Amino acid sequence: MKVLIVGGVAAGTKTAAKLKREDRSIEVLVLTKDEDISYAGCGLPYYVGGMIASREELIVNTPQKYSGLTGVSVETGKEVIAVNAAEKTVTAQDVKSGEKTEYTYDRLVIATGASPAVLPIPGKDLLGVFKMRTPDDAVTMRSYVEEQNVKKAVVIGAGFIGLEVAENLKAKGVKVTVIDFANQLLPNIVDYEIALYIKKHLLKEGIRVITGTKGEEILGTKRVSAIRTSAGTLNCEMVVMAAGIRPNTAFLDGTGIEMFKGTIKVDSSLKTTVDDIYAVGDCAMVTNRITKEAQWSPMGSSANMEGRTLAQILAGEKKAYPGVLGTGVVKLPNLNCGRTGLTEVQAKAAGYDVITALVPTDDKAHYYPDASFFITKIIADKASHKLLGVQVLGTGAVDKMTDIAVMGINMGAVLEDFENADFAYAPPFSTAIHPFVQAVYVLLNKLNGTIVSMTPAEYLEGKAEGYKVVDVGLEPSVRGAVYVNLASVNGEIPGLEKEEKLLLVCAKGKRGYFLQNRMRYYGYKNTVVLEGSTFFNDVKAEALVEQVSAEEITRVKALGFLHDKRTPDKFNGRVITRNGKITAEEARTIAEAAEMFGSGEVTMTSRLTMEIQGVSFENIEPLREYLMQAGLETGGTGSKVRPVVSCKGTTCQYGLIDTFALSEEIHERFYHGFNTVKLPHKFKIAVGGCPNNCVKPDLNDLGIIGQKIPQISLEKCRGCKVCQIENVCPIQIAKVEDGKIAIDENLCNHCGRCVGKCPFKAIEDSITGYRVYIGGRWGKKVAQGRYLDKVFTDKNEVLDVVEKAILLFREQGITGERFADTVARLGFENVQEQLLEDGLLERKAENIAAQKHLKGGATC
């Protein structure tokens, strides 16, 4: 028998290899369009982020190695362009030469996979637009990011691939915005409330996510400069198309094979509607294991299993492919997500009477180092108690929770089957009652009425309207709620009526359940526990104006919100503007935010941040989320590197350097890069374009001033009686002495105004550089900074000096003292010597890891 397989990645190579192991006599030939076979398509984003170092690591097998291991014949660079089912022939074209070849078969397997959907929008062919399918795509993308020093990227598509690409671009230092046309990320993969939690998490991690938005045009001349979307224009240097995939099946037109939206429909033996033609992998439409309805599930895992099963069938075994659950897992920055089975929406659409529970638990013994959490949404059929699906979030092994559900669904398990499941337990691995079993317990309690609860989805829909919020946490955490100390409840609770509707809230839901149980005994009839409580939900009580606690005032100050002491609950929020320069779109967003969440007033601070006035405590998080959607952030307080200020630089007639570009680079490298590094006190940086000192670089902890150092050609000086160089020097240190122009290097401030002013070109050339001041300070106690002896001509050397100054302050400063005090105490010459050497950089890791200055000295 001759089996011809079209496609050489996961499904095709798995089918071929297993088939040869089943029956060595079968002649197996694989044709593939690519030069590579059996490559790790799912690993491509991690190559972009640098977690996978080399292209070779992505290649599971070369054609030669694969043929030697399996006995399968492989021909690469062959694109199949036609199938003649009646004649049992396939026509392939060489991708380089164009030469056509005809192949015969007894059985044909289509395993051509799928390719990223390229949106038909103007600008899609510009340099800087990428897709993610082959190793070469990943190599080209990573090279482009590194060589073009990409700072901003937009990813179109918030599915698994889009989010993985976003995470890995962020790991390369790129600011990423993800857009998706759907109203949520991971559409049809997780339910809305789970997607909303992930979206908020990504925003906090610095990845901007805009849903309900479509890309309309990619802008730029030769390279990408921006993308116009239905939500506005987003500046970027790179666009990644990850808006779904399309099956590679166009060549099958006219074959009579039944298809649905480009996917090949197959039966349980993976056979198409045409005799002797089969399909597996991302191009095939299989069935859902629960509903038995057709389902497209393009995953590398199912592609491999489909290929293995098909090989056994072709070799004569009586087997059937049972279908898929759509199981998937995705790694995000500091959060993982796993899912299997039906979502709540899908289960309802399939006709099930659905019941769900959302349960936060510890992922291992809470006292064990690195213990974290799981958030498990478990979905079941109310009548049969049959498990239908699971969605899990957590920082650790969400895959093990997902896999338990997979086995349960595969075996037709009901919830009771998990009730006393003897899962592995030891403190480093799990909790004594397994987290999955804990989630099952909550759902069983809902089914039997032991707990009456409200799901996060219901809470988002507004079903808590009319309920009084009761906070039963270890400490009060919900402003405006009635606080109840669980341990003191031994009867009726003052202030709570037995007939009124009460929403019980704690940290994760357990104490709410305990209180409900106790309140029932004492006659309270309308209590409801909020599932996930404050751990998962943004809980708000009826608005009450009350004094914000000192602890909360300190907490939100670290977010950039300073308490207006004239009010009990109003704050002014600092919006970071990267040196005072913002786009028109950002300015509109700030103005809108001020109207929506504040008093409508915006002020400027001395650090060129924009401060939204009159933000109520309840509006702080909504305001931050609104700003993050536009790529804006709040902050700029505490004992850290503060926002950088700069003058107008080259847009000023005296400007010698591009201060905006330099200060933005400092902002990214040190304001963002050191944002978690505690210092003895605040550390302020200013960048001036010339010695005019407009932004007072010499009164900051560290200042950089642009320099233009005149280069005198004495042979061209004619010693004129009226010297133009003397006349133009603003500080009058240029003098004609003994018939030649002289400039005292110790007095010259390198403003550059003399350059080009001599009619005889005595001073025509100059060197552009940077002077670095350290130890300046203004405010209650002014200190004039001193400049380092060296005038720097290399920008990167200046950036290294900035880093060394911050590291020196952290390492050798005393908690509470300003950098000026540190310099004075250590001595300027000592500090200068350290800043011009590399010892501080060599000790950086140890310095950053040290537990120092945890309190700090900054009060504003």
Residues annotated catalytic, as ranges: 42
Residue among 218, 130, 196 at smallest CA distance from 168: 130
CB atoms within 10 A of CB 845: 9
Residue among 378, 372, 375, 361 at smallest CA distance from 395: 372
CB 17 within 8 A of CB 109: no
φ, ψ of residue 847 to 5 degrees: the values are -65, -50
Question: Between vectors from CA 207 to CA 370 and to CA 532, what angle results, nearest 5°?
Answer: 50
Which residues, other chains included, contact 8 with Cβ-Cβ below 8 Å and sequence gap of 6+? Answer: 30, 31, 32, 34, 37, 38, 63, 74, 76, 111
CB 245 within 8 A of CB 114: yes
Which residues, other chains included, contact 178 with Cβ-Cβ below 8 Å and sequence gap of 6+? Answer: 154, 155, 157, 158, 162, 163, 166, 185, 202, 207, 208, 209, 210
State how far the Cα of 480 lies from the Cα of 540, in Å rounded to an integer: 8
CA 541 to each of CA 123, 466, 479, 480, 534: distance values in angstroms, whole numbers, following the listed order: 48, 10, 7, 5, 12
CB 666 within 8 A of CB 649: no
State how far the Cα of 543 lies from the Cα of 479, in Å rounded to an integer: 8
SS3 214: coil
φ, ψ of residue 273 to 5 degrees: the values are -80, 0
CB atoms within 10 A of CB 732: 9
DSSP conformational letter for 549? P
How many CA atoms, within 13 angstroms, populate the side-chain half-sphere of residue 605? 25
State how far the Cα of 481 lies from the Cα of 469, in Å rounded to an integer: 5
